[in-house]
Amino acid sequence: MKRRVFILALAFSMQQACAPVAVARQADALRSAHPYAPYVTDAARRFDIPEAWIWAVMRVESNGDVRAISSAGAMGLMQIMPATWASLRARHRLGHDPYDPRDNIMAGAAYLRAMWDRYGNVAAMLAAYNAGPGRMDDYMSRGRSLPAETHAYLAKLAPIIGGASDPQLRAPAPPDPFAWHRAALFTARAGDSPTAMETTPVRTDAGRPANNLFVPLSRQRQP
């Protein structure tokens, strides 16, 4: 099982190798007011995960479309499946509307935290968010291949899962308004190899995008 996690992490780290490290120095300069920022902050604090994880998943899942619905029925900003929504809503006392931005973000953050607690590995957490923990467990224990869609999903997120960034370094915002999603937002545990994907959550809102972050893109099935 550990070998399969390593293989997944290695593939993920190869994707991220091309991400420009300099962008990490610009993350703070990209912070700005955003309609969902208070909800992301609240969710990150409640579930003790980085805000950057929420922003990144939101962008890839729905591109900021609060009414997004996938062909499989996943709903809202964080693309929560109906059964998952029902469970999370009951457990965390959320509202009745799965498309409500605050509650949808809260549910997505809760699910990310659950997957983090289950795997303790960012690549595995994100793969499970997309394909489901059952499929991820099959991959880890029996070598069942992950869906091509999940590999594509990880490839989209790979640029944001970079190496450690120096919080003391600051630079003006680049002209690219989407450069925030290529910033290195996760730091490895001490003693891990440079390619290891097992990381410790770091509370930060450095991944917060500007108001005009989200643009239309084609939808894939999201969990």
Beta strands in 68-174 (DSSP E): none
β-partners of residue 1 are none
- Please pick, among 51, 61, 149, 198, the residue that the annotation labels catalytic: 61
Q: How many residues does the chain have?
A: 223
Rg (CA), the chain: 16
Contacts of 131 (CB under 8 A, 6+ apart): 146, 147, 149, 150, 223
* Residues whose CB is less than 8 angstroms from the CB of residue 198 and which lie 6 or more positions away in sequence, other chains included: 5, 9, 120, 121, 122, 188, 189, 192
In SS3 terms, 76-103 reads as CCCCECHHHHHHHHHHHCCCCCCCCHHH
Whether 61 is catalytic is yes
Q: Judge whether 178 and 160 are in contact, CB under 8 Å.
A: no
Cite the active site residues: 61
